[in-house]
Amino acid sequence: MNKIYWLVCLILFCVQQVSASNPPATEVRAVWLTTNYGLDWPKNRTDIDVQKRELITILDDLKKYNFNTVFFQARTRGEVLYQSVIEPMSSVIATIKSGQTRFDPLAFAIEECHKRGLACHAWIVTYPLGGNRHVQGLGQRSITKKNPSIAIKYKNEWFLNPGNPQTDDYLLSIVNEIVKNYDVDGVHFDYIRYPDDSSRFPDRTDFNRYGKGKTLANWRRENINRFVTKMYDSVKQIKPWVQVSSAPLGRYRPLNGKHDGWNALETVSQDAGYWMKSGKHDALYPMMYYRNHLFFPFADDWVVNSNKRIVVPGLGPYQMLELDWPKEDIESQMQYTREKQMAGQAYFRTENVLSNVKGILFSINDFYKHPAKLPAMTWLSDTLPDAPHDLRAEKVKGIFQLKWTNNECKRATYTIYRSENEDFDIQKAENIIATGVREELFEMYVEDNDEAYYYYVTASDAYNNESVICYPAFFYHSETEK
């Protein structure tokens, strides 16, 4: 196996320069933005205005480095970061002071992400509810008090009980509350599984009641599958374009016998491959925080089980701190996902990227030289929207502006391109100026020089299907009349 690993490294080294210099025009570039304990945000716990400025700084940096997707942790353990009638607001959010308006963190995150062309997915911790101290701190607001019949204690931690069908109803009420009330681009599930080392998980009463001749392992997997199916169908009924995804364990199933260890299917009853094959997920972001033979073949296996939907390996820069990984381990995984034409990369977690641990942000800067579009969810819709029209280019008070008209495409985003000539290809990343633009206006600073370009705009619908290009606008950057 070591020989195979070093062979992979050699191949990746050979393609590294080509891959970095010719990045794809379509690629997911995601981060998990952790709010639990304020790990990524917020650092300040006392002032809402400071918390807003902190988040804006994070999103500005993500935009600067050409990321395009943010998993914003909207539900942690039994508490949330949005205005809910079901669960209490997280204690990391500052209380409102006199003169301040009510703060809705998820609404603010969505608005600020969209301003910057970033997709915002509501990241939901599914079954864990926290330890005794945390649950007691929530008091009567905790579901362990409001409906103890669906909560279960295991190893001093509280969980929603997947074996009780009423748990599905409770979780669906939370998911529906988010999807109905917020303009999220996706709902993203974490811990959508049984807890680690669950051999003694105290659900035998439910198993005896609902198992109906199944093995315990199969019954548990079917409990999770049942919720996933209900949840997916419910989301699509409300807003069919909202992407449904999850972050399963990084190793789906054993590939090499006992040497693989921990895996989703057998260890925590998480049959994520089935969710894709049965059409009840749009995307998977498996947590592949491993190296060498525990990464590469398992990444390939996720693609095999993808049903041609979106698979984006989750990479673990945090391991450069916790396990002292060299930066080259993350770089080789980035290269491998691109060489294998996977849908992109996701990183856990935001601070480990933006703090430039071991120089990883420098590597990402080289890797993401140009903005990238999001992949289309053609299994939901494959109809192309109409192209924008009446594109105009001008300078207004020294700022270059593009304006256009779109009368057809609803909830559209736009991609801005430019080229030195009319021999134009939307699949060349170097032609992209911006993606995810949500207004029929784009502004940027351009130097007053003798350069001239053809500018193009395309429209993408809510499923990320992209139109053909519009008729171009030709513009001299010099203010001297030509």
Please check the confidence at residue 412 and state whether its pLDDT lies above 70: yes
Binned at pLDDT 50, 70 and 90, residue 423 comes out as confident
Does 338 sit behind a cis peptide bond, omega within 30 degrees of 0 on the bond before it?
no
Whether residue 391 contacts residue 406, with contact meaning beta carbons closer than 8 Å, is answered with: no
What residue type is 480 in one-letter code?
A: T
Percent of the chain with pLDDT over 70: 94
What pLDDT does residue 15 have? Answer: 44
By DSSP bridging, strand 28-33 and strand 344-347 are parallel
What pLDDT does residue 5 have? Answer: 43
Whether residue 429 contacts residue 25, with contact meaning beta carbons closer than 8 Å, is answered with: yes
What pLDDT does residue 271 have? Answer: 98
Please check the confidence at residue 397 and state whether its pLDDT lies above 90: no
20's CB contacts (< 8 A; 6+ apart) are 366, 367, 369
What pLDDT does residue 394 have? Answer: 94
What pLDDT does residue 258 have? Answer: 65
Question: What is the C-alpha separation between 475 and 88, in angstroms, rounded?
Answer: 53
Smallest Cα–Cα separation from 370: which of 27, 115, 10?
27
Cα distances (angstroms) measured from residue 59 to each of 38, 53, 123, 222: 16, 10, 16, 38
What pLDDT does residue 190 have? Answer: 98
Question: Distance of alpha carbon 65 from its chain centroid, rounded?
Answer: 16
What pLDDT does residue 101 have? Answer: 80
* Summary mean pLDDT of the chain: 93
pLDDT tens readout for residues 133-178: 999 999 999 999 999 999 999 999 999 999 999 999 999 999 999 9
Question: What is the C-alpha separation between 451 and 175, in angstroms, rounded?
Answer: 50
pLDDT tens readout for residues 33-79: 999 999 999 999 999 999 999 999 999 999 999 999 999 999 999 99
Smallest Cα–Cα separation from 244: which of 187, 309, 312?
187
Question: What is the C-alpha separation between 429 and 182, in angstroms, rounded?
Answer: 31
What residue type is 47 in one-letter code?
A: D
The mean per-residue pLDDT over the stretch 347-353 comes to: 98
The mean per-residue pLDDT over the stretch 372-396 comes to: 96
Look at 449 and 358; give whichever has higher pLDDT. 358
What pLDDT does residue 19 have? Answer: 55
What pLDDT does residue 100 have? Answer: 76
pLDDT tens readout for residues 214-263: 999 999 999 999 999 999 999 999 999 999 999 999 999 999 776 677 89
Please check the confidence at residue 347 and state whether its pLDDT lies above 90: yes
pLDDT tens readout for residues 79-127: 999 999 999 999 999 998 877 788 999 999 999 999 999 999 999 999 9
Whether residue 288 contacts residue 316, with contact meaning beta carbons closer than 8 Å, is answered with: yes
Please check the confidence at residue 421 and state whether its pLDDT lies above 90: no
Look at 6 and 70; give whichever has higher pLDDT. 70
Please check the confidence at residue 18 and state whether its pLDDT lies above 70: no
